[in-house]
Structure 1
Amino acid sequence: MIRIRKGIVKSLLSQRPGITELLVEVEGETQRGVNYDRLTGPINTGDEVILNTTAVFKNLGTGGAHFVMGNLSNPQMDISEEGHIMKVRYSPCQVKVLSLEEADSPYTSIMQQAEGLEGTPVIVGGLHSMIAPVAAALKKLGQGQLRVAYLMSDAAALPIALSKLVYELKEKGLIHATITCGHAFGGDYEAINLYTGLLAAKAVARADVIIAAMGPGIVGSNSTFGFTGIEQAEMINAINLLGGKAVAIPRISFTDSRERHMGISHHSRTVLGKVALTKATVTLPKVEADKMQQLLKQCEDSGISSKHDIAVIDAEAALAALAEYDIKVTTMGRSVHQDREFFLAAGAAGVYVSSLVQAY
């Protein structure tokens, strides 16, 4: 069920392509709201709006804002004629896109001929925040010569506009193109599924390196397979099927209070040790001896070591690059200084691939 209320827009807080953040008065209180401009049109102070208030009512962290479902002060919108692929299909929010694969696309012939990744490295993350240290390392160590594409899946947020991080990385030249696949939408290019998304990153976006990960808002549980990051295994399989070089980022933390996420998270142990059917290079950050011993033992006990190649990488350069480019990123509310190993683990993949690409 959706909890629906009427509200009045009190002020606009910020705008970036595809999204407006605002304050809205609803049920006698002023609270934060989000308007997706591609879905519900432009919005202004004083507009009367229909709101999905479910997440705030449930006190959720993920999606913890009111979302505009309709603007009663400006209720009618028109769409462009080209394209006929629908995303978020058969819902009140279904949105038409011009997909790369369809006949109206200027890239139809390219996509029809694209059949493989030709060894292109694809760095696969299980959380959205991982893309920042990866991109920073690629920019710094690649001396700005590597063209990087980000492929966003539909395992979390669907509108890419929600991600302030992607907007910042693009503005600072760390990511050069974005592709949204499945029901995710709003990227520079739209793809129907993971496979054509990967192919488009290579053939259309002309990426030297691809970063593949969900958008903001992973869903998890205390069960073995009940988390959306399990898609990381499916991505590894797709990359290998298409002839790419899969590089997997393990989720690592020595700060998380939950035992199942200490060291290598149970998410990564499940994905890499049980679900992935094909091989990846799993990059571990070089850390203190006792922590390193725990990580290597977890790799051995979970089956990661027997299924994948392990590369231990000095990833300090990635954190230095984050600071140099002034990118402030958090994971589960924790900063780089508060959860250092998490960001080192992601950065290790960027450092590894930078050296890999430069070797050719």
Structure 2
Amino acid sequence: MIRIRRGSVLKIISYRSELTEVLVDINGNEQKAINYNHLTGTVKIGDQVILNTTAVYKNLGTGGTHFIMANMSSPEHDIDEAGHIMKLRYTPNQVKVLAVEEQESPYSKMLKNIKSLNQTPVIIGTLHSMLPVAAATAHQYTEGKAKIVYIMTDGAALPIALSKIVNELKEKKLLSATVTCGHAFGGDYETVNIYTALLAAKGVANADIIIVTMGPGIVGTGTEFGFTGVEQGEIINAVNILSGKPVAIPRISFADPRERHRGISHHTLTALGKIALSSSLVCIPKLNSDLDMIIQKQLVDSGIKQKHVIKTIDSSSTSAILKHYGLKVKTMGRGIEDDPAFFLACGAAGIGAAEMISF
């Protein structure tokens, strides 16, 4: 069920072409809300709006904000763009896109001729916060020569516009293009599934390095298979089917208080140890000897070491690289000073991918 409330727009907090953050009055309470401009039109101060307030009411982290469902002060708007593929299908917010696979797309013929990733490295993460670290290190270690393309899956947030970091990475030229696949939408290129997303990133966007992660807001339940990060294993399989070089980012932390995420997270142990049916390069950051011993034991016990190629990489430059690009990244509220192992693992994957290519 959806918890629906009426509200009035009091203030425009921030505006981007795809998204507006506003302050709304809901029954006398001032609260923040998000409006997707391409879904519900633009908003202005004084507009009367209908909001989905479910996640805030339930105190949820994933999806934890108000979203404008309709602007009653300006309820009608039209579309004239090409395309026939619907995302968010059979929901009130189903949105039409022009997918690269469609005959109407200028890239359709090109995509039909692309059959392989031709050994392109594909970095695969499980959290959106892994993206900027991997992108920055890969960019730095290729001296800015590599075209890095981001594929956002539909494992978490569906509108790419929600991600402020994607916007920042594009502005800073750390990403050359974005692809949204499945029900995720709003990328430079729209695709139906992960296979065509990978082929479009390579053949249409001319990627030298591809990074695949879900958008903001992973879903987890504490059960072995009940989290959206299981897609990492499935994407490894897809990359190998298409003759790419998968580089898996292990989720590593010694700051997370939850035992299931200590050392190598159970997310990684499950995705790489059980779901991935083919091999990937797993880059492990060089830590101190005690932490290294914990990680190596987990790699063996989970079967990851037997199935995948393990490479230890000195990624101690990660912090300096983030500072160089002016990136302030946090994961679960923690920065690199609070949870260095997490960030060093992401940096190691970026370096590992960069080492696979030459110009």
**TM-score bracket relative to the smaller structure:** over 0.9
User: Which sections of structure 1, spanning at least 5 residues, go unmatched?
Assistant: none
Write out per-residue CA displacement over residues 18-68 of structure 1, whole angstroms, 9 at most, x where no aligned residue: 100111110210001000001001110110000000011111122221100
Match of 2:267? 267
How far did 1:82 drift?
1.1
The one-letter amino acid of 2:326's match is D
The alignment partner of 1:297 has SS state of: helix
What's the secondary structure of 1:67's corresponding residue?
A: strand
Partner of 2:112: 112
Deviation per CA, 1:206-249, whole angstroms, max 9, x where unpaired? Answer: 00000001000000011100000000001000000000000000
Query: What residue is the counterpart of 1:224 in the other structure?
Result: 224
CA distance in 2: counterparts of 1:81 and 1:244, whole angstroms: 33
Q: Quote the Cα distance in structure 2 between the aligned partners of 1:17 and 1:269.
A: 39
Q: Aligned equivalents of 1:345 and 1:27: distance in 2?
A: 46
1:147-158 maps to which residues of 2 (within 5 A)?
147-158=147-158
1:108-257 pair list within 5 angstroms:
108-257=108-257
Answer yes or no: is the 8 Å Cα contact 1:318–1:351 preserved in 2.
no
Gaps of 5+ in 2: none
Q: Distance in 1 between matches of 2:263 and 2:81?
A: 51
Match of 2:229, SS state, is helix
Distance 1:17 1:140 in 2: 29
- Cross-structure match for 2:55: 55
* Greater than 4 Å deviation, 4+ residue runs: none
Identity %: 56
- Quote the residue 1:339 is aligned against: 339
1:81 is displaced (CA, Å) by 4.4
- How far apart, CA to CA, are the structure 2 residues paired with 1:81 and 1:157? 23
Q: How far does residue 317 in structure 1 lie from its aligned partner after superposition? A: 2.0
Instruction: Map 1:239-318 onto structure 2 (within 5 A).
Output: 239-318=239-318
- What's the counterpart of residue 73 of structure 1? 73
Bigger drift between 314-323 and 147-156 goes to 314-323
SS in 1 for 2:284: strand
How many angstroms apart in 1 are the aligned matches of 2:43 and 2:313?
47
CA distance in 2 between partners of 1:64 and 1:271 (Å): 26
SS at the partner of 1:128? coil
Say if 1:134 and 1:318, in contact at 8 Å, map to a contact too: no
Question: For 1:269 and 1:4, how far apart are their aligned partners in 2?
Answer: 39
Checking the alignment, whether the CA contact within 8 Å between 1:153 and 1:180 is kept in structure 2 is: yes
What are the within-5 Å matches in structure 2 for residues 90-101 of structure 1?
Answer: 90-101=90-101
Is the CA contact (8 Å cut-off) linking 1:88 and 1:94 kept in structure 2? Answer: yes
Is the counterpart of residue 37 in structure 1 residue 37 in structure 2? yes
**In the aligned structure 1, how far is the partner of 2:12 from the partner of 2:318?**
35
RMSD: 0.8
Q: How many residues align?
A: 359
Shift of 1:15: 1.3
- The one-letter code sitting in structure 2 at the alignment partner of 1:314 is D
